[in-house]
Structure 1
Amino acid sequence: MSEMIDVARSSVQTWHSDQMGHMNVQFYMEHASQGLAALAVHLGLGPRFISAESARLIAHDHHVRFLREQRPGAPFTIRAGVLDVRDYGLRVYLEMYNTISKEIAATFAADVELLDEDSRETKPLPAKAKAAAKAMTIELPQHGAPRGLELAAPRKAPTLEEAAEIGLVFTWQGEVQLDQCDAQGFLLPRHFMGIVSDSIPNLLGQTNGQDRSKNDKVGGAALEYHFHYHSYPRAGDVLTLRSGLKSVSTKTYIWGHWLFNLETGKSIATAEAVAIALDLVERKAIPVPEEMRIRLEGMVAPGLGV
């Protein structure tokens, strides 16, 4: 087994922060994507390969854990390694750590494939890339393993009709903007996560009557996410999100999210997330308020999953 290599370094900016006062989940995903681009260079799949072959490594599944909240000014580094090598892709691992304290902030395990830049068709990995990847193989650290989620094989892509049948809530809708996309006009991973993050105030409002803008003492935070990408929307597509509750306990609850193309009804992505209630003054997790938990228990949607 080899050692992980550093693939990205930056710091948390004030505009990365959300209403909870810490870096929003979409920016973790953005920096992980930058780390993947640098990892690709080490595998011989960097910009020169992309230009010559019109193909790049693209994730079709992400498992993310958030271990420590990141506040503005925090310096961080991302390191990476390879968990598994396949003919048409890799399972890679990245982790964000504080550059000074070395504390782990977040982990990312991703199934990535070599895809044609325009058609998104899968291409085989070059032999040299597979050899380089095998030389970078690591074991999955315990802190990167699933904790609150079960990473089963993805379910059949859902439909809007199914979302309505199980009572999912309409939580977000909008047009994919060009500045949310890569050079080929496909939505970037950051914004899949951003859509879900932006939906949460509507989800809480419609399921629990909460208005986060009226409460500066108690909020929430995500501990873990699982995303599966069924297709890749482009600039100009109009997307719509349906969300619901998968389960709730005294300490955590698991939200599920299904993203669709509004015009075609095609499934874009499925996701689920473990969340906690957060004391915004003490900056610590608190039990799910009993009144909220009782209300949520009656809203569990059967069949919800990634």
Structure 2
Amino acid sequence: MPPTDQLTYRGTVYPWQCDHMGHMNVMWYTGKFDEATWQLFGSLGLTPDWLRTAGRGMAAVEQVTHYRRELLPGDLVSVHSRLLEVKEKAIRFSHEMRVDGDGGSVAATTILTGVFLDTALRKATPFPPGMASRWAELIER
């Protein structure tokens, strides 16, 4: 199981990810956070293969992002993620995007709520027995 704060993404800001003002456009912050989300889910056992086989999926129902500093072409970034809350059918987690090489200053943070879905019924469903309780233990640690 993952630690309470784990590295879930590492990458670079490319010039084509920047807008006319010269800094990374907000759509790319969201994209990097999304990639980190799937790494976090995988570490929790919600791998793409498992989700497909089980007929399950995840859907974001809320996301709140705070931008702390601009990112420029060539900046090296990492995302560190933390599980915050587990409910019967939903989880809440956070991502912190840091600039590598300058002491790890925070460029952006986001908190997301994701709902576990039955993909055939297209509605929320409880996590499998034991799964949510294992995740809750991670939060308590």
TM-score bin, normalised by smaller chain: 0.7 to 0.9
Q: Deviations over 1:127-162 (max 9, x none)?
A: xxxxxxxxxxxxxxxxxxxxxxxxxxxxxxxxxxxx
Aligned pair in 2 of structure 1 residues 301, 181: CA closer, same or farther (>3 Å)? farther
- Radius of gyration: which is bigger? 1
1:202 alignment partner AA: Q
Structure 2 equivalent of residue 139 of structure 1: none
Deviation at 1:184, TM superposition (A): 2.8
Structure 2 distance, partners of 1:215, 1:271, is 24
Structure 1 distance, partners of 2:136, 2:106, is 27
Question: Aligned ranges for residues 280-291 of structure 1 at < 5 Å?
Answer: 280-291=119-130
1:278 aligns with 2:114: no
Structure 1 distance, partners of 2:135, 2:50, is 20
Question: Aligned ranges for residues 8-27 of structure 1 at < 5 Å?
Answer: none
Structure 1 equivalent of residue 29 of structure 2: 192
Structure 1 distance, partners of 2:32, 2:140, is 21
Structure 1 equivalent of residue 17 of structure 2: 180
2:70 alignment partner AA: Y
1:252 aligns with 2:79: no
1:209 alignment partner AA: G
The answer to whether the 8 Å contact 1:168/1:301 transfers is no
Q: Secondary structure at the match of 1:215?
A: helix
Structure 2 equivalent of residue 137 of structure 1: none
2:115 alignment partner AA: I
Q: Secondary structure at the match of 2:93?
A: strand
The answer to whether the 8 Å contact 1:276/1:288 transfers is no
Q: Deviations over 1:163-190 (max 9, x none)?
A: xxx8411100100111211023211111
The answer to whether the 8 Å contact 1:187/1:233 transfers is yes
Structure 2 equivalent of residue 242 of structure 1: 80
Q: Secondary structure at the match of 1:298?
A: helix
Question: Aligned ranges for residues 36-185 of structure 1 at < 5 Å?
Answer: 167-185=4-22
1:226 aligns with 2:83: no
Give TM-score scaled by structure 1 length: 0.42
Deviation at 1:301, TM superposition (A): 6.8
Q: Deviations over 1:190-246 (max 9, x none)?
A: 11111111112211222x233213432111011001111110101110100000111
Structure 2 distance, partners of 1:184, 1:203, is 32
Structure 1 equivalent of residue 101 of structure 2: 263
- Higher relative contact order (CA closer than 8 Å, sequence separation 6+): 2
Deviation at 1:269, TM superposition (A): 0.7
Aligned residues: 136
Match of 2:46 among 189, 207, 210: 210
2:47 alignment partner AA: D
1:244 alignment partner AA: R
2:91 alignment partner AA: Y
Percent of aligned positions with the same letter in both sequences? 26
Q: Deviations over 1:259-284 (max 9, x none)?
A: 10011111101110111101122221
Runs of 5+ unmatched residues, structure 2: none
Q: Deviations over 1:99-130 (max 9, x none)?
A: xxxxxxxxxxxxxxxxxxxxxxxxxxxxxxxx
